[in-house]
């Protein structure tokens, strides 16, 4: 079987990216074709800084996907970090 990972509902892996403003919407559109891999959040759209939000369990898949992007898209990884909730998540029974 594939890579098994303990799901932690209170953690998000955030990969920080720089991408030219002209390609930001294209990057988001390409990611929509990768059902469930993550989402792109702009936190400084004019400066080209974006955040790729995914789960820690999908870290390897996310980096493989980013590496597969065409070089001319100009996407550059600038960092990563884990966001973790301070409180217990409310999970429906």
- Whole-structure pTM value: 0.80
Mean pLDDT of 10-17: 92
pLDDT at 26: 93
What ranges do the domains of the chain cover?
Answer: 19-79
| Closest by Cα among 59, 76, 61, 84 to 24 | 76
- Could you report the per-residue pLDDT of 52-73, keeping only the tens digit for each? 999 999 999 999 999 999 999 9
Share of the chain above pLDDT 70, in %: 82
pLDDT at 47: 82
Element spanning 78, H or E: strand 76-84
């Amino acid at each position: 079987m594939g890579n098994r990972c303990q799901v932690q509902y209170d953690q998000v892996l955030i990969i920080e990216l720089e991408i030219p403003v002209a390609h930001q919407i294209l990057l988001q559109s390409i990611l929509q074709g990768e059902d469930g891999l993550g989402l792109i959040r702009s936190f400084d759209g004019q400066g080209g800084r974006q955040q790729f939000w995914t789960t820690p369990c999908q870290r390897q898949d996310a980096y493989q996907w980013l590496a597969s992007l065409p070089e001319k898209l100009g996407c550059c990884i600038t960092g990563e970090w884990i966001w973790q909730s301070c409180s217990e998540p409310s999970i429906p029974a």
